[in-house]
Amino acid sequence: MAAPPMFFLLATVAVAAALGMLIARNPVSSALWLVLNLFCIAGLYLTLNASFIGVIQILVYAGAIMVLFLFVIMLLNLSALPELESLDWARIGGFAVGLVLLSQLLYVVALELDLGVEPVSGEMAAQVGSAATLGEILFTRYAVHLQVAGILLLAATVGAVLLAQRRFE
Amino acid sequence: MDLSSAFSTIVAELPAIFSMTVVGLVGLVLIVVDAYRNDHPAIPWLGAAALAAASVWEVTQLGAPADTVFFETLRTGGFVAFINLIVLLTGLATTLLSIPYLNQLRHDYGEVYALILYATVGMIMLGSSNNMISIFLGLETMSVCLYVLTGLIREDEGAVESALKYFLLGAFSTGFFLYGIALMYGATGTMVLPEMAAADLATTSTQLLFWGGFALFLVGFFFKVSAAPFHMWTPDVYQGAPTPLTGYMSTATKAAAFAALILVLVHAVPGGEWQLVLAAVAVLTMVMGNVMALAQTNVKRLLAYSSIAHAGYVLVGLAAGTQAGYAGALFYLLVYAVMNIGAFGVMALLEWDGKEGREQTLSSLAGIADRRPILGTTMGVFMFSLIGFPPLGGFAGKYFVFAPAVEAGLTWLVVIGVLMSALSAYYYLRVVYVFWMQSAAEVEATNPVTEAAFPPATRMAMGTLVVCAVALVVLGIFFGGVLETTAGFFEASAMAAAP
Amino acid sequence: MDVALNWYLALSAVLFTIGTLGVLFRRNAIVVLMSVELMLNAVNLTLVAFSQSMGDPSGQMLVFFSIAVAAAEAAVGLAIVIAIFRSKVTVDITEINLFKH
Amino acid sequence: MSSAPLLRLVLLLPLVGAIVNGVAPLFVEDLRTREGLLGTIGTAVVAVPFVIACYLFVTFGGEPVVANYFQWMAAGDLELAFAYRIDELSLIMTLVVTGVGGIIHFYSIGYMHGDPGYWRFFAYLNLFIFAMLNLVLANNLPVLFLGWEGVGLCSYLLIGFWYTDLSNSTAANKAFIVNRVGDFAFLVAMFLIFRELGGLSFDVILAQGPALPEATLNWIIFLLFVGATGKSAQIPLFVWLPDAMAGPTPVSALIHAATMVTSGLYLLARLSALVLGAPVVMALIAIVGGATALMAATIAIAQNDIKRVLAYSTVSQLGYMFMAAGVGAFFVSVFHLVTHAFFKACLFLGSGSVIHGMEEVEHDLEERGHDTSDFDPQDMRTMGGLGAYMPSTRTTYLLATLAISGIPLTAGFFSKDEILFKAFEYGYSGGETYAMIVWIVGVITAILTAFYMMRSYMLTFEGTPRWPLADQAEPHESPSSMTGPLWALGILSMVGGFIGLPAVIQDGKWNWIHHYLGAKYGGPVAEASVQGHVPLALEWGLILLSSVIAVGTVYYAWRVYTAQGLAYDAVLKRRFRGLYQTWADTYYWDDFYDQVVVDTLINGISRKGLAAFDDKIVDGAVNGVADAAQNASGLLRRVQTGIVQNYALALALGAALVVGLMLAGI
Amino acid sequence: MNIPYLTSLVIFLPAFGALLTLFLRRATAIRWTALATTTATFVLSIGLFTGYDPTVSTAQAPQLVDIWAEWLPEAFDVKYFVGIDGLSLLLVMLTTLLGPIVVLSSWTYIQEKQKGYYALLLLLQTGITGVFTSFDLFLFYIFFELTLIPMYFIIGIWGGKERIYAAVKFVIYTLVGSLLMLVGILYLGYAAGEAVNSGIFTTDWYTLLEYNVPLATQGWLFAVFAFSFAIKVPLFPVHTWLPDAHVQAPTGGSVILAGVLLKMGTYGLLRFCLPFFPNVAQSYAGLFAVIAVIGIIYGALVARVQDDAKSLVAYSSISHLGFVVLGLFAFTPEAMQGAVIQMINHGLSTGALFLLVGMLYERRHTRMMDDYGGLATAVPILTTFMIISVLASAGLPGLNGFVGEFLILLGAFQSTVIDSPVLIAFATTGVILAAVYLLHMVYRTFFGELTEAANAQMADLNAREFGLMVPLIVLMFVLGFYPTPFLQQTAPTTDFLLETVEEKRMAIEAQANDEPTTAETPRKVPSAPLEAEEVSIDLPDETP
């Protein structure tokens, strides 16, 4: 577990970035805000000693997925859409539901959390979060899953091509 | 565990996932074949052969005892075989029904069959999960393939719109679903289902975590099985998706998702604390599905609402929370798969506007049964079965989901269920009477059908529909054996064998 | 002194809610998609936090697969957005309502 | 030969006749015109039973013979057989039914000549005889009811015999339905009897019935009496009988005068032991009878249709019989029933002969090119002077008229006098005041009867012909196959009364019918009539009184109608002003039923009320539920906006709800 | 004569015939197949009549039984269990008799899609026969519902103008009732299984009969069963589907509908409602009697103002079935036997009426009485049959209708359960009203002058029509004069039922008195039911 200043810094930036993504009018800005957020989260992973996931986070998310997003935004040459002006029922409802959901989640996870077990030590956590540990599990216990994940990605690729290719004329 | 011993275990246990392997590999082959021989006519048949072979394998596994393989990540045995069988057979039927449909559209869709196979792989994984990761991965594999299949006909605004809606909402629900898993994991410290049940929820906060997580987890499933109020994508997506694939979506998806839900309920949360939630959602689902179906004029949309309603009936069985309830739900899933595949199949063969039936109002099909008596008859069987008329499978299915609910003291729920069934008769019968009892002249169809517009009904497609219809009659009369099989999956002794 | 687990969880909950609001409010399909990614990320944080706190790697395994899924979803999702942009020349999801009622 | 097999023959022969006459010609059209064959069969199957009945009558040993043929129905405590009973009452009734019936059958051979429905006619008549025999011979109430309804059916079929004229069918429907009202009461009476006694056989009823509490008996007898008012045309259910004259005249004679209409009376006589236990209802019976007699007699005065006069006369005479029953003198009413059968049948057949003649005139006129659309062969105003053309008819009609008027020594004199005497005696020595009223009514009715009957005779047979072209178109006497029966009945009307000579003669020893029936069907007054509670002189006085009345009235009517003819009706009309019109319009009973009862029930309650209720409310509710569901669906559908964010909102909301519900449940 | 599986044969032979017709092409061949099958079925069913021995008690099991117990998994004591007792015998006979008659009546009436028509007709017969022979509630329910599908198509495809409305109404109306009954069946099955069948769900009629349903649950169970059957009968005020269905249905459909289909309701009341829920049945007997009497009078009055002959006959059915229900709820042997025999009678006489109206319709293509008039001259044989049928229907002694009505009313009058002679007297007014509306029909249709040329040229019955009417007419007389053989067959069973009802009623009352209503048992949550070997169910103390 991280030292408080580090955590709160990253957390604050993460929340701010998330809000930035939510509020920014231009999709490109949104994407960039999100990238910031993803970096913060990667940082949080590192504070948790989850080195492997932290690296993956940066590589896959920030490096691959967000590039894809930006690429598509550029490709489609999207500009800012006019957001809804007035507070209609859907928006009020959305806020209300979001608030309820948040309070429920906080009630569940944050208040007087007591898992009944002590958190493991930092070293042990670092070992658990290491590429070695995770890799071993991945290639033994989750070997089949890995194959299926491969199929999933293949399907996504095939599907993306199928959907996005130009129509035959 | 070290890598070398693990490898030998994996190889040794490979037959346990025979279906998944065969289907997945043939899927890969199809992509390759399609890449070199674009749209080769053998592609669908290859896919069908894989599905058929896997089905045969699963039949032999129906009596197998429950066990886990791959380090407790996947389950095997009768239950899994049964669900796989439903998934594989619906996949097979879909493949057969898609051939004439896609030929009609005259585009190369070789990948479609591969995607069907991939989705099937995901469903098989979902239906044989023994831990949360399997569930998640299976669910997502299935979903991603289905997003693509929905938007298959990319020239069509409707299809793409459906795909977008399906995708956005699906991804949204995945968020809740994953959150749920995370919280349950946090409360129990494990991803393995039986271990979750065994975990000691000693403190209040672990209980809160667990049940809050389970609630969010349920949300994901409710979305996939289109239970109200998570159902709203269903009509829009079903209407826009290619019709045979809609059938696939509405049946195999539900079968696999419900199977996983049953596995979770049975193994991870065997208590009855969720009964009220399931019952409430069941009520809402049955009411919304049936009531909203009443005023539909588009057959596909109508069938979409109907499939929502049917999810409600299955939930009634689950809400009972007894062996008999689960067994009944499984049986119901089988029957439901047969009848819905059939109903969508008929609609696929009667589709003439080239726009995924979205402009096809019921009245434009007036008197169609006179011209297509086999389609008319089979549609009649499907509709009556969907209402729940004996001696068709639909009745037996309803009976065996309602009975356990009554036994469990949920009589009020069953009363709502039967009343909604009665209501449902109204719209199902409408399909029947439009097909059989009206003539085009009578209703002054705005969009008259020309004979040439129908997809050529291949022998195989017709055969599939007839087999479905006959299967419903057989399931409606001689359901004892099937039911005994499904009940066997949940007997205390069979469950005890599982770790 | 370390930050307690519940702070991570709370942060994750907040991020999740922001993601949810993004889905609910943004009209741009791509931004909605991004909001979903944010939601998944928030959950991943929870998972990793639990996993590291308990010393159990399976949580991170799920995160690993979740990232794979997110990638696949992003690919498919963006392909769909492209397809819809081609036919409708918009990515405003409030205007994509051919099917209703 | 024992009587049971013979009885079977009596019962079955008419049935066989009905089947042969009814079924064969229905399918073989050639048979329909074989009148000789049809008529012979039809008559024979009634005549032979008459002969057998005579034999049974002669050999009857005094103890009732019960013949159980086969079981009808059995359920729970109910054991019903087709059981028949030979005793004094049923024998007399059988003789009348087959005897008079036979004569009328014979008459019909000629009367119905040339009618396309000849075969049907005889089939119906035979069926009627079968049903009537069931009625009078039954040994339990349901079999009696079988006959009771059977005769109603035949009456229906025969009234509507000429069905192409809808008014006939209307009359038939009316007869059947009004009778059914009575039958309804009869049924309820049966249920009540079964409830109280556990059996419906006469053996049981007669043995145990009288012991029932008076209230129960009152109900039973009241209900039976309501049944009887239907069949025997008493107030308030008499309205069908005058309309029933739409049927062929032999039918009027047989069914609507001689036999069927008396079955109500027969029923009371059969159960007289019970009736006597219900004094309140007896008074009611007597009063209703008296009122009916008086009312019908007054109506008869103002009628111009010859058959309607006779019809109202029948109603009136039936009222007489009920008066007798009401004072407990059942055997006397049976006596009057027998004599009435003779003279009323004779009158009807005579009127039939007249109508026959007048139809001949109508034909004649038609052939001469005269407009006959207004010509009514039954209207006495167009008759007159027929005696000259139809001597036999005239003579027999006159004989019967004298008999019904009660001219001394005719059949009607004895029976009617006996009724009046019993009524008087019941009131005088029995202390029942209502009987005295009844007696007074009876006397008045007797006067009226003599008057209107003479009027009908005078208008028909005397005076000068009043039909158009009377000098050219001439009616002829009917053939002997018709006049023969007339003579037979005419003579019976003269001598038939000697079976019941009054007590003043030979101290009652010659009152055969009294000895034959009195013991069982006499009631308290039976003894009295012999023993003489009433001084002999008083009885002589009463006889003298009725003689004077009869002779005086007949003479008066003869005088005024000889002098003034048809014009005297106008005098009557003037003299009685409002009353006369009321009589002519039959006291507005028909209007009451048509407009108040029938119209309210059918147009008001059924059509505007229930049928509309059924359509709008009951069915409307069902359709309303369907519409409501449809509307709900239409409304709910709007939730499905097509906008994905709304769906997402619902999803999130649902998630919040599910989480909330789940956490609340923990 | 001892044919194995005779009962099953009688049930399924028509279905087999239906299957056969599907493979035939020529309409003539299809018709003859249908006729041959139904006739053969009727001949076989005579074997049932002769094979059934009323002197042998059916208190333990019916006769001529076929059982297949392995139909369902062991957790469900649900059997294929068919047999004959006094209650079913006559109704089965009526069904099989009407089979060939209906086929013959449709011979020329049905011109289109003959294959479907006859196949459905035969299937329908299987369903109906099954209903009357099932001794398992589940099986009964299956057959009960099975009859709806063919009838839906028969009305909907070959019916009149408003056929679809009528067909859908018919199905949904019935379905609402029967599905609620299904819930009742489920509940009863578990409760009875718990109490008398060592915990195994049961729908065996005799096993259920052993179970004394507690007073608390009898109420609503009776309500759902009775509601379902009341719709089928149909009782006022749930009757409005009937006139629509009848008027729109083709002749054959109407005959089956009136002849036997409606009897399923009264049969169900008698077979299930009364013996299973004796206390409630008796305490609500008065209500049912009132409803029945309302039905009798109401049906008759509404019938009187119909302009459509078929509609008139349809409403008359409502009136007549009211008598049957009255008889059932009187709980006296006379009334109950009367009710049973009246079911047969109504089938014969109303069936005949529908046939004759159908024959008129076939000739003139109108059912409006105003379009006719004076037909007696043109079609004397038809007229004769019509009058006989009308009289039978109106309950004239000597014809069948009287026997039933008389026994019912006589019995109901004695009934201590209804105990209201005045009410029965009101019911008796039905005999007046029956004459009113039926004679009105005869009057409007057959009497008067032949005004229309089309009517004058109308052909009388041909040999086929004559032949199909004769059995009905003959039976009307036979049942009118000599119903004894039929009554004898039913008597032991009705006696048994009445005794059972009385015994159970006493037992349940005693039971209720012994155990004063215990405190409400907490509703059990199915906690960890998978571990539990035996399934236990809770009986919630629900009061209706």
Q: What is the pLDDT of residues E134-191, one digit of tens each?
A: 999 999 999 999 999 999 999 999 988 889 999 999 999 999 899 999 999 999 999 9
- Give one word for B98, left, alpha or beta, with left for phi > 0 and alpha for psi -120 to 50: alpha
pLDDT at residue number C75? 93
- Domain residue spans in chain C? 5-88
| pLDDT averages per 10-residue partition of chain A, 169 residues | 81 94 89 93 91 91 88 81 64 90 88 74 85 90 92 93 72
Q: pLDDT at residue E543 above 50?
A: no
- Domain residue spans in chain A? 3-120, 130-169
Rounded to a whole number of angstroms, the CA Rg of chain C reads: 17
pLDDT digits (tens, 9 = 90+) for B373-427: 899 999 999 999 999 988 899 999 999 999 999 999 999 999 999 999 999 999 9
Residue type, D192: L
Put simply, whether D648 touches B (Cβ < 8 Å) is yes
Q: Considering only CA atoms, which of D664, D338, D445 is closest in space to residue B274?
A: D664
CA-CA distance, D490 to D488, in Å (whole number)? 5
CA D621: distance to chain centroid?
47
Instruction: Please report which confidence band the pLDDT of residue E474 belongs to, taking 50, 70 and 90 as the band edges.
Output: very high
Instruction: Burial-class residue B93 by CB neighbours within 10 Å (0-12, 13-18, 19+).
Output: buried
Choosing among 3.40.50.150, 1.10.287.3510, 1.10.3720.10, 3.30.70.2860, the CATH entry for C5-88 is 1.10.287.3510
Helices (runs of H) and strands (runs of E) counted in chain C? 3, 0
- CB of E526 closer than 8 Å to CB of B275: yes
- CB of D435 closer than 8 Å to CB of D330: no
pLDDT digits (tens, 9 = 90+) for D357-408: 998 888 888 888 888 888 888 899 888 888 889 999 999 999 999 999 999 8
CA-CA distance, E482 to E487, in Å (whole number)? 9
pLDDT digits (tens, 9 = 90+) for D100-143: 999 999 999 989 988 888 999 999 999 999 999 999 999 999 99
CA-CA distance, A48 to A41, in Å (whole number)? 10
Distance from CA of B473 to the nearest CA of A (A): 37
- Assembly ipTM: 0.90
DSSP codes joined into one string, E196-262: HSTT-EE-BHHHHHH----HHHHHHHHHHHHHHHHHHTTPTTS-THHHHHHHHS-HHHHHHIIIIIT
Q: At what angle do helices E163-196 and E148-158 cross, to 10 degrees?
A: 180
Contact list in A for residue D654 (CB cut-off 8 A) is none
pLDDT at residue number E139? 92
> Across all residues in chain E, what is the average pLDDT?
88
Put simply, whether D653 touches A (Cβ < 8 Å) is yes
Report which secondary-structure segment, H or E, holds A143.
helix A143-164
CA B321: distance to chain centroid?
20
- CB of B168 closer than 8 Å to CB of D647: no
Q: Considering only CA atoms, which of E438, A103, B432, E67 is closest in space to residue D176?
A: E438
Residue type, B32: V
State how beta strands D65-75 and D78-86 pair.
antiparallel
pLDDT at residue number A87? 58
pLDDT at residue number B314? 95
Minimal-distance CA residue of chain B relative to C87: B157
Distance from CA of A69 to the nearest CA of D (A): 21
CB-nearest to D649 from A97, A107, A108 is A97
CA-CA distance, E345 to E341, in Å (whole number)? 6
Q: pLDDT at residue E448 above 50?
A: yes
Q: pLDDT at residue E540 above 50?
A: no
Average pLDDT over residues D649-664: 92
What the block records as the tokens of D478 is 């009917």
Contact list in A for residue D645 (CB cut-off 8 A) is 90, 94
Q: Is residue E70 part of a domain?
A: no
Which range of residues forms the domain containing residue E493? 284-507
Q: Which residues of B363-398 are buried (b: 16+ CB within 10 A; e: fewer)?
A: bbbbbbbeebebbbbbbbbbbbbbbbbbbbbbbbbb
The DSSP letter of residue E80 is: E
Give the residues across from E82 on adjacent strands. Answer: E66, E134
- Domain residue spans in chain D? 592-664
Q: pLDDT at residue B499 above 50?
A: no
Distance from CA of E398 to the nearest CA of D (A): 6
pLDDT at residue number B444? 60
SS3 B351: coil
CA-CA distance, D626 to E165, in Å (whole number)? 12
Q: How far is CA E361 from CA D214, D486, E160, E369, E455, in A?
A: 56, 49, 11, 11, 11
> Across all residues in chain B, what is the average pLDDT?
89
Q: At what angle do helices B393-407 and B299-320 cross, to 10 degrees?
A: 40
Q: At what angle do helices D480-495 and D330-367 cross, to 10 degrees?
A: 150
- CB of B281 closer than 8 Å to CB of D662: no
Q: How far is CA B406 from CA B312, D649, E189, in A?
A: 15, 34, 10
Check C3 against A81: CB less than 8 A apart.
no
- Percentage of the residues of chain B whose pLDDT score is greater than 70: 94
> Across all residues in chain D, what is the average pLDDT?
89
Give the residues across from E204 on adjacent strands. Answer: E136
Quick check: do C and E touch, 3+ CB pairs under 8 A? no
Give the position of tokens 């294959």. E115
Phi, psi of B414 (to 5 degrees): -65, -35
Quick check: do E and A touch, 3+ CB pairs under 8 A? no
- CB of A29 closer than 8 Å to CB of A81: no
Instruction: Please report which confidence band the pLDDT of residue D665 belongs to, taking 50, 70 and 90 as the band edges.
Output: confident
CB-nearest to D663 from B208, B230, B232 is B208
Interface contacts B/C by beta carbons within 8 Å = 135
Give A92-138 as a 3 state SS string.
HHHHHHHHHHHHHHHHHHCCCCCCCCCCCCHHHHHHHCCHHHHHHHH
Check D70 against E482: CB less than 8 A apart.
yes
Check A152 against B183: CB less than 8 A apart.
no
CA-CA distance, E451 to E370, in Å (whole number)? 11
Contact list in D for residue B291 (CB cut-off 8 A) is 629, 632-633, 636
- Which region among B74-83, B171-180, D509-518 has the lowest average model confidence (pLDDT)? D509-518
pLDDT at residue number E403? 93
| B407 contacts: CB under 8 Å, gap ≥ 6 | B320, B322, B324, E186, E190, E201, E535, E537
CA-CA distance, D281 to A104, in Å (whole number)? 87
DSSP codes joined into one string, A15-43: HHHHHHHHH-SSHHHHHHHHHHHHHHHHH
pLDDT digits (tens, 9 = 90+) for D238-258: 999 999 988 899 999 988 888
Written out in words, the top-level CATH class of the domain with range A3-120 is mainly alpha
The residues of B whose Cβ lies within 8 A of any Cβ of D are: 164-165, 168-169, 172-173, 176, 207-208, 211-212, 214-216, 218-219, 222-223, 228-230, 232-233, 235-236, 273-274, 276-277, 280-281, 288, 291-295, 423, 426
Quick check: do D and A touch, 3+ CB pairs under 8 A? yes
pLDDT digits (tens, 9 = 90+) for E223-259: 999 999 999 989 988 999 999 999 999 999 999 999 9
Put simply, whether D645 touches C (Cβ < 8 Å) is yes
Give the residues across from B361 on adjacent strands. Answer: B298
- Which region among B430-444, D62-76, E292-306 has the lowest average model confidence (pLDDT)? B430-444
Structure-model confidence comparison of residues A119 and E222, the more confident one: E222
What the block records as the tokens of E429 is 């007014």
Q: Which chains sit next to D, with 3 or more Cβ pairs under 8 A? A: A, B, C, E
CA D574: distance to chain centroid?
33
Instruction: Please report which confidence band the pLDDT of residue E273 belongs to, taking 50, 70 and 90 as the band edges.
Output: very high
Put simply, whether D145 touches E (Cβ < 8 Å) is yes
Q: Considering only CA atoms, which of A87, B281, A154 is closest in space to residue D651?
A: B281
Instruction: Please report which confidence band the pLDDT of residue E452 belongs to, taking 50, 70 and 90 as the band edges.
Output: confident
CB-nearest to A109 from C13, C53, C75 is C13
pLDDT at residue number E516? 55
CB-nearest to A134 from C12, C14, C60 is C60
pLDDT digits (tens, 9 = 90+) for E81-128: 999 988 899 999 999 999 999 999 999 988 888 899 999 999 999 999
Average pLDDT over residues B260-277: 90
SS3 D305: strand
The DSSP letter of residue B66 is: P
Distance from CA of A106 to the nearest CA of C (A): 6
Average pLDDT over residues D167-176: 92
Distance between terminal CA atoms of chain B? 19
The domain total for chain E is: 1
State how beta strands E201-202 and E76-77 pair.
parallel
CA-CA distance, D321 to D262, in Å (whole number)? 9
pLDDT at residue number D62? 80
- Percentage of the residues of chain D whose pLDDT score is greater than 70: 98
Minimal-distance CA residue of chain B relative to C72: B144
Name the pTM for this structure.
0.91
Check B168 against C16: CB less than 8 A apart.
no
Q: pLDDT at residue E533 above 60?
A: no
pLDDT digits (tens, 9 = 90+) for D54-75: 999 998 888 888 988 889 988 8
Q: pLDDT at residue E528 above 50?
A: no
Put simply, whether C93 touches D (Cβ < 8 Å) is yes
Residue type, D181: V
Q: Considering only CA atoms, which of B357, A76, B240, B155 is closest in space to residue D644?
A: B240
Average pLDDT over residues D208-224: 92
CB-nearest to B266 from E167, E526, E530 is E530
Contact list in C for residue A101 (CB cut-off 8 A) is 17, 20
Q: pLDDT at residue E515 above 70?
A: no
Q: pLDDT at residue B176 above 60?
A: yes
Put simply, whether D633 touches A (Cβ < 8 Å) is no
Angle at D576 between CA D575 and CA D581, to 5 degrees: 130
pLDDT at residue number E535? 42
Angle at D97 between CA D93 and CA D102, to 5 degrees: 150
Contact list in D for residue C94 (CB cut-off 8 A) is 643, 645
